[in-house]
Chain A
Amino acid sequence: MDLDKLLEIGNQCIHSEPPTCVASCPVHMDVIAFAHEIEKGDFAKAYKVMENRMPFARLIGKICDHPCESACVRQECGGSIRISEFEKTVIDLGYMPPKKPLLLSKNKGSVAVIGGGLSGIVAATELDKKGYKVTIFEKTDRLGGSLWSYAGKELEVTILEEELSTIEKKGISVQYNAEISDEDLKDYYKNYDALYLGAGSWDKDYEINPHTFQANDSSLFIGGKIQTKNNSIIEAISSAKRAVVSIDRYITKTSMHASREREGIFKTKLEFNIENVQPLETTIKHANQYDENEAIAEAKRCLKCQCNECINACVHLQRFNITPDSYIRTINQNERIILGTHHANKMINSCTECGLCKAVCPVGIGMADIIHETRRSMVEKVKMPISAHDFALKDMQFSNSDAFSLIRAQPSKEASKNLFYYPMIAFSAYARGLYKGSGKTGYLFYPGCQLSSTHTEYIGDIYKHLVGAIKDKDADNDVGLYLGCCGAPADWAGRDDLMPESIEKIYKTWQEMGEPTFILACSSCAATFEKYLPMIKAISLWEVFDTYGLPEVDIKKGKRELCIHDACATRHNAGLHASVRNIVKTLGYSVHELEYSKEKAKCCGYGGLVSNANPEQAEDFVKDRIAECEDDVLVYCAMCKDTLVKGNKRTYHILDIIYGNEVNQGTAQKMPTLSERQNNRKRLKYKLLKEIWNEEESDMNPSYNFTLTIPDAVIALMEKRFILQSDIEKVVENSLTHKERFYNPQTSDYLARLRVQNVTFWVKYEEQGSNIIVKDVYSHRMEVVEK
């Protein structure tokens, strides 16, 4: 995978973009941290935040012309945050005298600072910090320049004097009454490595480089009022600081331009969404500045602007407390590890690839494709943890094996003639549909593996309904049936090597059957078809129902409200959303639309095989989804129903309400176990072949000389540990045949093991005649060498 391209995408993420206040502050004070500290009542820390960016903070904080406030996003919702008022209060409540400066040797070079006003003293102290020997040349007999115009008003004289006195204490020399003109500068060029000109006015106009503040490529740098050409205090400070960066680079002969794009005032990419922000009025001050409580109240108004749209919407990003910018950097590191632990594997396998982050991102960054690419790359490099997806991939293999896979054209007219009698032909649309059999498969019903596993009983009825309803309006086109797995698990697992197995089979079938339209009942199938089989025309079963009519079953008209949980895989399919809602309303229910619905649908937690790779993360998804649904939930994806029911939320598949199978409100809903799902698929194939195609297939279940009794607690363990009943049967059978087992004389229990493919399964059981009572099951992937 192209990691550089990936990092570029990460750089587009605006999560770490500064808010407008910081971007419009020429010295970039961290206003969010500042407001946070004030909100906590920690004024000393707030002062530190201020001091961090603002030289002479104790003075400047009182007189700053605060361009930040006019940029504040709060403006439209009650008024800008009074950052300048914060500064004044923070100085009074949180000022701490600086620690005694360490007198470091000043051997990096010498700089002359011309002008001891605001910009001059800032440049001098900043240069001093960087290790330069600095001399200030001031034309009057005191430092501070225009700062003195605030003396006795905004600034107390004693504090002003105290602050200015620190300059010489640092070891910066000051020459007072040093009137210098442009003519004099030539001597200074000779005697100093660089000059900083920060006088309020000057007798010569220089062309000043707008990025470096360098004059004529010489060692002269100009800041302060001459450069800013305005009276802004904070801009003058900024220009002095920026000129110092240039002087340092000039003297140390490093690039004058590199990485300086965002100095001074800049435009942030952050666009903070104020749609849901409650207006709050500015806190009133009762004296000439905020007291502690007023400042805290005002700090609470601050929105601490940061783009968190995706992390607010997604429990995966929440669990790992990560946004796309750092997520992508972490993937980059994980991908580059050659020797060592791939710490991010679990995170990468905990994304459902549902696409919600992209749907809510203001700049359109989506993790789904990135995660998919990453998983593919992990598989390619043989770095994908096997256990993460092994069970799901074996289950997919099962679906595509003869145990479930089935392709049949509509039963021919000839084969169905025993149905063409009165009253059957009059009352059964299905019989009439068969009677109109054309031999051309126009539609192929593809229910998918999961619906077939968990809603087995509906599939035959749906098929018959489709034959009746479609043939009634469209006599040319027969309806066939195709049972199998689309390959979604392989796609989620990044297993490009397994995709063709599913896809090519579907493609070949489609061609052989004369390119029929697929009728899909599973949202994951729909997504897989769209991605890998775009040439195949596919429509959802719900759209077919909406167009051709619902099955004629006894519809119990309800009046209840149901929350519709849309399937994340179909978030962009507005037609499907409309069809589902039409059906729900036709059946007499009203719809409660959730905040996260349709294109903003949230995943139930099944997507991306997360329930295999990180069950706790999958549970987060279920809990999050349930929390939004007050009423019972209606879904149209079999996996959504499965996960939500397991989370103890009463959930109906749309087929449940179509066929009038609402369960009694008092009884608990139960979903089939992993083993039952496989059996259901086998059973479905067997049943459909027999009932619809009149084909008898021998029972493919192996027969054993024992029966299993599995208590509920063990069934729960099997589910948690991804162990199938068929695995247990194999272990027990082997142990009975070869006596490969341990015996515990005290409990009379047996313990047996068998390696099946890449997993060793262990079963503890009690033998009661031919009945085996299972007491414990577990497994490991490690191979134990028995010799």
Chain B
Amino acid sequence: MENQTKEAQWMCDKCHEALVVEKVRVCYLEGSFEVELLKCPICKMVFISDELAMGKMLEVEKGLEDK
């Protein structure tokens, strides 16, 4: 929860828009998933936090690398 509130503070610097939660496709090796992430509604730039990148994403990357 705390993270989500913190993340909600970010906005797109180019479009000056608040970020919205939307389904985003992420791919690595043979894997492709849809996950809900924050993104800019205009330019579609997706926000990835340190916690997500070094936590769940890394775990999934390693899992796929060992497939």
A-to-B contact residues, CB < 8 Å: 340-343, 345-346, 385-388, 721, 738-747, 750-751, 753, 760, 762, 764, 776, 778-787
Contacts and interface: CB of A to CB of B under 8 A. Distances in A.
A342 B50 contact: no
Contact of A780 (B10, B12, B58): B58
Interface string B6-50: 000111111000010000111111000000010100011111101
> Which 8 A-B pairs rank lowest in CB-CB distance, beginning with the nearest?
A385-B65, A739-B14, A743-B13, A785-B25, A782-B28, A780-B53, A742-B10, A786-B44
A742 B54 contact: no
A782 B57 contact: yes
Main secondary structure of the interface of B (DSSP, over half): mixed
Given A740-B45, A784-B48, 17 more contacts: A343-B66, A345-B66, A386-B29, A387-B61, A741-B14, A743-B10, A745-B11, A751-B47, A764-B50, A778-B50, A780-B48, A780-B53, A781-B61, A784-B26, A786-B39, A786-B44, A786-B46
A751 B10 contact: yes
Given A341-B67, A721-B54, A744 B10 contact: yes
Contacts of A780: 48, 53, 57-58, 61
Given A343-B66, A751-B10, A785 B28 contact: no
9 contacts: A741-B14, A742-B10, A746-B9, A762-B48, A762-B50, A776-B50, A782-B57, A782-B60, A785-B24
B27 A783 contact: yes
A776 B54 CA distance: 12
Interface of B: 9-14, 19, 24-29, 37, 39, 43-48, 50, 53-54, 57-58, 60-63, 65-67
Contacts of A751: 10, 47
A782 B28 CA distance: 5
Nearest to A735: B13
B9 A745 contact: yes
B36 to A, nearest CB: 13
Given A762-B50, A785-B24, A785-B25, A742 B66 contact: no
Contact of A778 (B12, B26, B45, B54): B54
A745 to B, nearest CB: 7
B26 A782 contact: yes
A742 B57 CA distance: 20
Nearest to A783: B27
A706 to B, nearest CB: 16
A748 to B, nearest CB: 11
Contacts of B13: 739, 741-743, 750
Nearest to A341: B66
Contact of A345 (B28, B29, B65): B65
A303 B27 CA distance: 55
B11 A743 contact: yes
Contacts of A346: 66
A743 B18 CA distance: 10
Contacts of A784: 24-26, 37, 46, 48
B1 to A, nearest CB: 17
B63 A341 contact: yes
Contact of B62 (A385, A721, A764, A779): A385
A753 B44 CA distance: 13
Given A742-B10, A780-B58, A783-B28, A753 B48 contact: yes
Nearest to A749: B10
A746 B8 CA distance: 11
B25 A781 contact: no
B44 to A, nearest CB: 5
B45 A742 contact: yes
Max count, chain A CB within 10 A of own CB: residue among B11, B45, B60:
B45
Contacts of B25: 784-785
Given A762-B50, A782-B61, A742 B11 contact: yes
B48 A742 contact: no
Contacts of B19: 742
A787 B43 CA distance: 8
A782 B25 CA distance: 10
A760 B52 CA distance: 13
B31 to A, nearest CB: 8
